[in-house]
A and B are shown apart, each in its own frame.
Chain A
């Protein structure tokens, strides 16, 4: 158990479906992140939330919609995805201090069919 929990671990969805990914941390961290990890590509930062406020949106398509209702929970709402969106989606949290680094969840493996 890493302290950051992501559900579900695996998700298969059709291109017309709507689904949500959930991330939860009880480490007292005040920043949360969504990363996309595709095969043979570097980790891509998607969204950053600091104290529940979105501070970074890295040119992510609108079919991905984040939500951060409180500092412990982060969601990624998905709709009308494309097959190229299939990837491992990683959530991370941090204290907001450099020396603590990030704590990552185990990820959600998403397959769009």
Chain B
């Protein structure tokens, strides 16, 4: 397996434009996560899916952010309209399970990230 695939690797856009980030999880993984990493706030979970269904989107910062998972092999994170403060590295990760008390969990595998710059 090629691991988690993200595209594009770098995106530079102007404020107000729509941005779409893409992710292909590892085949067979039922969970998909979107994270955002900034110097100020570190890594933050934005949303995660289980079997293509959004389970927890409490980390999505605003209505400008939306995420979809139309099938088991593809997910998108969309920002519309984009703002300079959205500039960050966005990571996608997948795993075959979630943490369970006392049972550990299968680790999350991260993609290489998309570096977004909004001018």
A-B complex is real: no
B residues in contact (CB < 8 Å) with A: none
A residues in contact (CB < 8 Å) with B: none
